[in-house]
Amino acid sequence: MATLVYTQFVFLLLFQSSVWGFPVRQTPQESPTCGYKSCHATKPGMLNVHLVPHTHDDVGWLKTVDQYFYGDRNDIQHAGVQYILDSVVDQLLKNPDRRFIYVETAFFYRWWKRQTDDMQNTVKQLVNEGRLEFVNGGWCMSDEATTHYSAVVDQMTMGLRFLNDTFGHCGRPRVAWHIDPFGHAREHASMFAQMGYDGFFFGRLDYQDRSRRMAAREQEMLWRASESLTPPMADLFTGILPNGYNPPEGFCWDQSCDDPPIRDDPDLEDYNVDDVVTRFLSIAHTQALVYKTNHIIMTMGSDFQYENANLWYKNLDKLIHYVNQQQSNGSKVNVLYSTPSCYLQELHRTNLTWPLKGDDFFPYADSAHDFWTGYFTSRPALKRYERISNSYLQTCNQLEVLGGPISRKGPFGAGDSETMKKAMAVAQHHDAVSGTEKQHVANDYARRLANGWAHCQVLVSNTLSSLSGSSAPRVYCEHLNISVCPLTETSKKFSVNVYNPLARPVSWPVRLPVNGTAYSISDANGKAVDSQVVPVSQATAAVRRGRGYAVNELLFQVQAPPLGYSTYSVSLLQNGAPSPQASPLPRAPKAVQNKFLRVTFDPETGLLSSLSNLETQQTVKLSQNFYWYNASDGKNSESIQMSGAYIFRPNTSTPFIISKTAKIETLQNSVVQEVRQWFSPWVSQVVRLYTDSRALELEWTVGPVPIGDDLGKEVISRLDSSINSSGVFYTDSNGREMLQRRKDYRPTWNLRQSEPIAGNYYPINSRAYIKDDKDQLTVVTDRSQGGGSIQDGSLEIMLHRRLLYDDVRGVGEPLNETSDIYPEGLVVRGRLLLSLSPPATAADTHRPLAQEVVLQPLITFTDGELHPNTRLEFSGLQAVLPPAVHLLTVSQWDQDSVLLRLEHQYQASESKEHSQPVSVNLQKLFSTLDVLGVSEMNLSANQWKDEMTRLDWKAESGEKPLPKREGDPSMWEVNLKPMEIRTFLLRVRQR
């Protein structure tokens, strides 16, 4: 209903198009009572205790998201979200003073769909009166260490859109709430600020940091979450909750708790009101000592609580009554039902200044030997699947827009992007892509993603068929990374369609499993393309395990236009075994090089020995090898902590080398040069240099990690270079801005280091680097991984973990992944891309490189000869966007409008050439769409930009935020400054 109204309203605007944005918007039905206005009054001269009834509902962990929703499998964990919402609504109606917050829209949406109109109206009423308040409001509460910003923005957008569509203005959360994630990323804070949140609360931070902040009363602060964006754009008020997210000790009244209820009938036995009040006052006074104001917050709830909400509310009503009754006896404590935003409002009203925070909250340790740095890498296969699923979703979204209605219902049936959007949103949860769920739940996330792919494939086929004019069935090969594709293995003639989701042209190496020895390939203009056929490596044949039987791989380089595709035709010329020249040689070359890079090898060991950039004439010594840390089994004098899904705790600080030397095969031809290194039956690698690449590829294959020796293993790839990195390295935050990391050091407190390896590990989402004055070595990863720089010049990245013990953080399973195809342990394959540059220009290489890995081309096939009228090339853009601009989102919003996000992908001062403001003309963007109207929104697209007002907060440093951004050159011409993301709703018409 809401969207319909909106569409009509947009239509009106066509006639007023000289005005920036849509001039007339429906003024939201401003309810007098929701939001900050609905807060209970506090008492100025007293200590005000804000009781926040809440439930923490994991979108999958020990049970799947749907098992949690229904309350299925209560033998695993007693938890049923549908009952929680039923019960809470019932209890809120019993007393208008009561409050409840709800967080995870994935669950709320499931519940809402099944309610009657009456119930929905009742709930709307509760929301309009601020009695039920949404906080955070994304589809899930995302993980912060292993997520990529693109997927986080999407999942927040989806959850917040549902809330806005359903409840309007009163459904918009004011507060971000990440009470459980295991450490906090600066980029998340930056995103929350740009999504319009007034404040942010969380529960977990390093135990040393917490105790210092408690003593200094610095548990509440202003997080300046970007070095590039002009304050206060990325400033976020941030508060640390007092008990994680649990109630104070002795005050848990859920059915899952054993604390005594309030027994307030003096005629009965065990009357305890005096005792309860005394204990409560004492806790409140103690808590007030470690916060700055005369307001404190208490989270009254925990995991999956409030299934029988009467227990909680009955006792909270009494607690409030009896504690406040003491005011007549001179007590200066006032207790009230509250919400995080009501608490935040009171903090804001104090006009205080707050300490400024510039770094992030990684790594998180809850005790001296308990660093939560293992999950940065846990379940590497799921982490990769999640990452390529994001790439695929973006492609699916783009093709939905470019294809128009036919994409959803075309020659190949009904396709949609919605299934994938939901699967990806669920996968961002802090026990999903983080790898900290039970095995059956990990399987469920993967299954949902696979289902999303299937729905997107229909959509993609419809659009490509419509754009190309060919309705030939389209074939998808999802196992090209292990050289499996039934079509290319058998076909004598087929075509390859390469769709590029980036806004600039890409050149991309293609590697197809084949059984012929020679092929002719022509591009979209009919020009012959150089290709090579090489034998499938033994490592690849070993991983694919009988799925596919290609003996060879066909290699060639493809080019694809921006937001478009190019088609290549492939014909078999010759069958049989590859020519002897195509076969690898059994020794390491002295060097391999292309026009950009040169790498040398040590002839004795077969390992890398140096890397040179031929354009800049710089060379560093560089070796690389694989090692494993012996995971602690807890039988240790210092601590019984074991390594597990969350925790990384090596038994010793010296990792074991897998092999000092590698067996080598070398393959050199006009398309690629590869040095295939074999270290052990479970570790191999290909060092690969494509002819026109500025990056050296290290394709690693690790597994099944052997555990016959009863030792858990955490496998790393370590680069050792001559770069004088002085104890410093750099990692990205959620794939965007870079953060400096210093060994055994934290920017905000004096660290007592107790875990020399695990305590120096940080999340790497897309890249890390080390540098000195002359050289910067950057590693781009293909998924989130953990890593560190333990020695100067060294950079290690954890690739795979196989563990024998649970780490006692609740998951209750050792991280020991097997599958039907790999019963003796998962084999995982991935890539690291290395580049060497002067520090001043390094970003010019690693920014586009990382982007090509995040948004990779989609390759599809059709069998046989193409119809002569087939359109072989297409671009959805009128022109290539400037190199600094990334097209972050192109997604159908409703029938006539498209959500567009443009991002400046360079940091301030990062690149002489690209860290400059740049502008884009929205009307000159798309080749197939006319843009008729435009309106700017906040980052999460749940608020018009010009209606976005956030609470302003003052930093202790006293500096005043600069005035607001200057305007754009014109209505259609929009400016982007370094690291800026701008979100627009475009009204469009297909040309």
Active site (catalytic) residues: 180
Between strands 591-593 and 885-894, the pairing is unpaired
Among 36, 944, 954, 971, binds ligand NAG (CB under 6 A): 944
Least CB distance to Zn ion at residue 634 (A): 24
Up-side HSE of residue 768: CA atoms within 13 Å toward CB? 28
Q: Which residues contact 681 (CB under 8 A, 6 or more apart)?
A: none
- The two tokens of residue 355 are 């300490």
Among 6, 162, 596, 690, binds ligand NAG (CB under 6 A): 6
Among 834, 943, 981, 983, binds ligand NAG (CB under 6 A): 943
* CA 713 – CA 828 distance, rounded (Å): 14
Least CB distance to ligand NAG at residue 163 (A): 9
Query: How many residues sit in the footprint of ligand NAG (CB under 6 A)?
Result: 13
Residue number with CB closer to ligand NAG (165 or 264):
165
By CB under 5 A, which span of 73-81, 172-180, 547-555, 798-806 interacts with Zn ion?
A: 172-180
By CB under 6 A, which span of 161-169, 635-643, 876-884, 949-957 interacts with ligand NAG?
A: 161-169
Q: Is residue 58 involved in binding Zn ion (CB under 5 A)? A: yes
CA nearest neighbour of 567 among 869, 882, 887: 869
By CB under 5 A, which span of 53-61, 144-152, 621-629, 672-680 interacts with Zn ion?
A: 53-61
* CA 948 – CA 977 distance, rounded (Å): 19
Residue 943, contacted partner among ligand NAG, Zn ion, none, CB below 5-8 A by kind: ligand NAG
Q: Say if CB 958 and CB 912 are below 8 A apart.
A: no
Between strands 506-514 and 597-601, the pairing is unpaired
Residue number with CB closer to ligand NAG (117 or 709):
117
Residue number with CB closer to ligand NAG (350 or 895):
350
Q: Is residue 121 involved in binding ligand NAG (CB under 6 A)? A: no
By CB under 6 A, which span of 272-280, 708-716, 935-943, 974-982 interacts with ligand NAG?
A: 935-943
* CA 117 – CA 123 distance, rounded (Å): 10
Residue 180, contacted partner among ligand NAG, Zn ion, none, CB below 5-8 A by kind: Zn ion
**Window 678-697: residues binding ligand NAG (CB under 6 A):** none
- The two tokens of residue 119 are 């119930």
Residue 26, contacted partner among Zn ion, ligand NAG, none, CB below 5-8 A by kind: ligand NAG
Q: Which DSSP category does 249 fall into?
A: T
Among 66, 72, 86, 165, binds ligand NAG (CB under 6 A): 165
Among 8, 27, 328, 351, binds ligand NAG (CB under 6 A): 351
Q: Which residues contact 614 (CB under 8 A, 6 or more apart)?
A: 593, 595, 596, 597, 598
Among 350, 575, 653, 818, binds ligand NAG (CB under 6 A): 350
Angle value at C-alpha 904, between 459 and 932, nearest 5 degrees: 55
Residue number with CB closer to Zn ion (180 or 755):
180
Collapsing DSSP states into helix, strand and coil, what is residue 191? helix
- The two tokens of residue 130 are 């601020």
Q: Which DSSP category does 473 fall into?
A: P
Among 2, 14, 879, 962, binds ligand NAG (CB under 6 A): 2
Query: How many residues sit in the footprint of Zn ion (CB under 5 A)?
Result: 2
Residue number with CB closer to ligand NAG (73 or 348):
348
Residue number with CB closer to ligand NAG (165 or 523):
165
Q: Which DSSP category does 748 fall into?
A: T
Residue 165, contacted partner among ligand NAG, Zn ion, none, CB below 5-8 A by kind: ligand NAG
What mask, x for binding ligand NAG by CB under 6 A, covers residues 227 to 266?
----------------------------------------
Between strands 618-630 and 608-613, the pairing is antiparallel
Least CB distance to ligand NAG at residue 32 (A): 18
Residue 168, contacted partner among Zn ion, ligand NAG, none, CB below 5-8 A by kind: ligand NAG
* CA 103 – CA 120 distance, rounded (Å): 18
Residue number with CB closer to Zn ion (58 or 903):
58
By CB under 6 A, which span of 162-170, 231-239, 428-436, 803-811 interacts with ligand NAG?
A: 162-170
Q: Say if CB 299 and CB 293 are below 8 A apart.
A: no
Collapsing DSSP states into helix, strand and coil, what is residue 401? helix
Least CB distance to Zn ion at residue 141 (A): 7
User: At 276, phi and psi to the nearest 5?
Assistant: -60, -45
- Reported in sequence order, the residue ranges of 188-302 that DSSP labels E, i.e. its strands, are 199-202, 220-224, 235-240, 295-300
SS3 readout for 275-305 = HHHHHHHHHHHHHHCCCCCCEEEEEECCECC
Q: Say if CB 148 and CB 188 are below 8 A apart.
A: no
Give the long-range contacts of residues 93-98, CB within 8 A, separation 24 or more. 93/122, 93/126, 94/313, 95/313, 95/317, 96/129, 96/131, 97/40, 97/317, 97/320, 97/337, 98/53, 98/131, 98/313, 98/316, 98/317, 98/337
Residue number with CB closer to ligand NAG (859 or 937):
937
Q: Is residue 168 involved in binding ligand NAG (CB under 6 A)? A: yes
* CA 510 – CA 132 distance, rounded (Å): 53
Q: Using DSSP, how many helices (H) and how many strands (E) does the chain show? A: 17, 47
DSSP-derived secondary structure for 495-508? EEEEEE-SSS-EEE
Q: Which residues contact 526 (CB under 8 A, 6 or more apart)?
A: none
Q: Is residue 226 involved in binding ligand NAG (CB under 6 A)? A: no
Residue number with CB closer to ligand NAG (111 or 167):
167
**Window 25-84: residues binding ligand NAG (CB under 6 A):** 26
798 strand-pairing partners: 716
Least CB distance to Zn ion at residue 57 (A): 8
Q: Is residue 895 involved in binding ligand NAG (CB under 6 A)? A: no
Least CB distance to Zn ion at residue 154 (A): 20
Q: Sign of the C-alpha dihedral, residues 637, 641, 644, 650?
A: negative
CA terminus-to-terminus distance, the chain: 27
Residue 470, contacted partner among Zn ion, ligand NAG, none, CB below 5-8 A by kind: none
Q: Which DSSP category does 168 fall into?
A: G
Q: Which residues contact 41 (CB under 8 A, 6 or more apart)?
A: none
Residue number with CB closer to Zn ion (59 or 622):
59
Least CB distance to ligand NAG at residue 168 (A): 4
Q: Is residue 164 involved in binding ligand NAG (CB under 6 A)? A: yes
Q: Is residue 180 involved in binding Zn ion (CB under 5 A)? A: yes
Residue 350, contacted partner among Zn ion, ligand NAG, none, CB below 5-8 A by kind: ligand NAG
Residue number with CB closer to ligand NAG (16 or 350):
350
**Window 295-314: residues binding Zn ion (CB under 5 A):** none
- The helix (H) or strand (E) run that includes residue 872 is none
Residue number with CB closer to ligand NAG (2 or 216):
2
Residue 58, contacted partner among Zn ion, ligand NAG, none, CB below 5-8 A by kind: Zn ion
Least CB distance to Zn ion at residue 787 (A): 25
Residue 903, contacted partner among Zn ion, ligand NAG, none, CB below 5-8 A by kind: none
Rg (CA), the chain: 29
Q: Is residue 144 involved in binding Zn ion (CB under 5 A)? A: no
Residue number with CB closer to Zn ion (439 or 559):
439
Between strands 220-224 and 356-357, the pairing is parallel
- The two tokens of residue 352 are 């205080």
Among 339, 470, 495, 942, binds ligand NAG (CB under 6 A): 942
* CA 148 – CA 191 distance, rounded (Å): 12
* CA 492 – CA 487 distance, rounded (Å): 9
Least CB distance to ligand NAG at residue 339 (A): 21
**Interaction site with Zn ion (CB under 5 A):** 58, 180
Site residues for ligand NAG per CB under 6 A:
2, 6, 26, 164-165, 168, 349-351, 937, 942-944
